[in-house]
Copies of this chain bind each other. A is one copy, B any other.
């Protein structure tokens, strides 16, 4: 018999805590209103740097364990310095991470042990838009594809259902497939 300090969490997900939070929030749904926040600073050319630290939710200001810094740039092909991934690639990262975290949580809730979850995410984009060549075409992705490879102690049907449920709950999937109103202003000097 092995005695461990922390309980074994299925897929590393604390299902009990999540279900407990859901119950607690039912009494006061103002607690579920979150505002996520990022601060960006231009570095040079198309290179910029974002710091992510604080956010608000559960009725007050919160912060991450530590601030995280993320750069972005354009590739050398666009006569840029390629200091980091492009903004549109970060959108793919966000989608993959959201769906994959969801797969782990849904699988844990269903008692399914995951051995591995890999995905390849692709997005098609015609650069005529951002280059100003074709003002009729769209600037962003015309389509995005996600292909999962999942090894789990479950049938193909159970795995398909877990992925479908993750998609149904995914914030980033909803952001991409629905219209998000975006307001851009310039602060007075």
Task: List chain B residues, Cβ under 8 A from A73.
Answer: 101
Task: List chain B residues, Cβ under 8 A from A62.
Answer: 75, 77
Contact of A11 among B18, B44, B131, B145 (CB under 8 A): B44
The secondary-structure label for the interface of chain A is mixed
Given A57-B127, A68-B85, CB of A184 within 8 Å of CB of B171 = no
* A113 close to B (CB within 8 Å): no
Task: List chain B residues, Cβ under 8 A from A189.
Answer: 149, 151, 156
Task: List chain B residues, Cβ under 8 A from A122.
Answer: 35-38
- Interface size of A by Cβ–Cβ distance < 8 Å? 130
Most chain B C-beta atoms within 10 Å of own C-beta, residue among A68, A97, A151, A159? A97
Measured CA separation A103–B86 after assembly (Å): 15
Q: Mark A138-152, 1 if CB is under 8 A from B, else 0.
A: 111111111111110
Minimal beta-carbon separation of A7 from chain B (angstroms): 12
Measured CA separation A25–B69 after assembly (Å): 35
